[in-house]
A and B are shown apart, each in its own frame.
Chain A
Amino acid sequence: MIRAIATVREAGASRLVLEVPGWPGQRPGQFAMLGLEPERLRRDPLLPRPMAIYRGDASALEFRFKVVGRGTRIMAELVPGAKLSLLGPLGNGFELPSGPATLVGGGSGIASLYELARVARPAPRVLLGGRTGADILGLADFDALGLELSIATDDGSLGRRGLVTDLLAPRAGETVYACGPLAMMQRAHELAAAAGARCRVSLENPMACGFGACLGCAIKTPAGFRYVCTHGPVFDSASLGWEAGS
């Protein structure tokens, strides 16, 4: 894990490519905390933002994101040469599947799955969903992996019209990996459980620190509070108390 000042190499509406000195590499599903004010002259926004590591190596680190508020809006307006502070890689990441797997990504959650789609063997099936076609982050990259890929959009502008979970038909013994809106992950969990499949979900809760100091990212589970930054972000879906609303 490192703390570094990263330099923006490429930036776009939903894409950020950083140069990070000494980047040690990551496991699929790990994340980084991106601080928007490394010089801390402006202290607003104050807190760093958790972002899944889309892909990365020593030469460049890439993030894909959805603009939802001020932090991500600032990220979308960054220009090459701008500086960010970075802490990562953080979190447990996905354990690699030992057999067949289906990846289900919705909205910004898609970004958490690309690295897993790339390295999992045998090649997993991938289901991606968004409100419209433009919301499917990294579509060309997933396409280039040459695996079985299906799309669903709310408005039918790309792939099938409907929810991405409508495309999900888990088989016994496989592993479902899901990242996206809570309702989507809950549906994936239910379908997997009914089919006798394992299900891993990656949660996207707001965070303050990202390393276990603030206890702000707590989720309630039947076994008590767990912290998304240190116990997760990836959880066995069966360990979460979906009924209680986590």
Chain B
Amino acid sequence: MGGGLVSGDVDLSTGLGGVALRNPVLLASGTCGYGTELSPFIALEQLGGIVAKSLTLAPRAGNLPPRITETPAGMLNAISLENVGVDAFVREKLPALPAAVTVLASVFETELERYAEVCKRLDGVERVAALELNASCPHVKAGGIEFGQDPRVLAELVRTCRRATTRPLLVKLSPNVTSIAEMARVCEGEGADGLSLINAVQGLLVDVHRRRTVLRNGLGGLSGPAILPIALRMVFQAARAVKLPICGIGGIASGEDAVAFLLCGASAVQVGTITYTQPGAGIEIRDGIEAYCRQHGVARVRDLIGALEPWPAG
């Protein structure tokens, strides 16, 4: 492919279900806190946006420790959606972020009506560009994944939340399902504006010397480079099943990883675990996408979306 684009002339802008993004890189929910934790290291306003830690109606304490452990090229966590609650988020966390940062809020609850109530409370909040429905936490005892694993329950959840908000509504899907395409279609049918996938993959580690699970909770969510091929596969399949824009998530650690998601059909990506290794990873990945575009003569990053080349027949 021909190179030759000069500095500054790559158009990185993209969009996600009605939200305009200055570039395709967002930080994934739960891995960037409420943004302020990262402000000392990274200019958040130079990212496409951030998805804040999932919010529940009331403040929520997480699981007992140990809640994290490392795995080959990844980590397993069972934080269990510890958060300050939706009202404290709106009152204290949002105003602490620079106005230029695009903020998406993630919504999580254990019951349908409570999901809807969190959506309602965020609906009028000007700073919140979109809602991401977390239907997929892999390790909470009630709610979360149950909402994302049964197509009928997922449909009811999206329908209920759709009615509760006028904001762009993305649904974050679980990888712990048999058919991601089916789940994607359910969301499209219920009026979601986009999809985010994937959340962490259910996993478990054992300390054989003590003969018990490493995490107090037993199950955890696997994230990091180890899950990248699973995530790519699911984005690929979902993108073929629906017309909704997709935000690709899972193991992204470089600009090239992000480009792979765009080629598989994602309109944007979220960067999670790698932020712990490298707090500035989001910016480096954005720069990496830009460098890729220049190297391959791609003028607009949007031209990469779904642009995977077919293998020749035979």
Contact = CB atoms under 8 A, between A and B. Distances in A.
A242 interface: no
Nearest to A71: B70
- Interface of A (DSSP majority class): loop
B65 A205 contact: yes
Contacts of A193: none
A99 interface: no
Contacts of B64: 220
B31 interface: yes
B296 to A, nearest CB: 21
Nearest to B225: A43
What size tier do the contact residues of chain B reach?
A: 35 or more
Contacts of A87: 41, 279
A46 B275 CA distance: 11
Contacts of A213: 31-33, 37-38, 275-276
Interface string A32-57: 00010100100111111000000000
Contacts of B40: 1, 211
Contacts of B33: 212-213, 215
Interface string B4-36: 000000000000000000000000001111000
Contacts of A210: 276
Interface stretch (B73-81, B120-128, B152-160): B73-81
Given A46-B75, A213-B37, A206 B276 contact: no
A76 interface: no
Contact of B68 (A85, A206, A219, A224): A206
A211 B42 CA distance: 13
Interface string B42-82: 00000000000000000001101111111011110101001
Nearest to B71: A46
A210 B275 CA distance: 11
A44 B274 CA distance: 12
Nearest to A230: B37
Contacts of A45: 70
B65 A211 contact: no
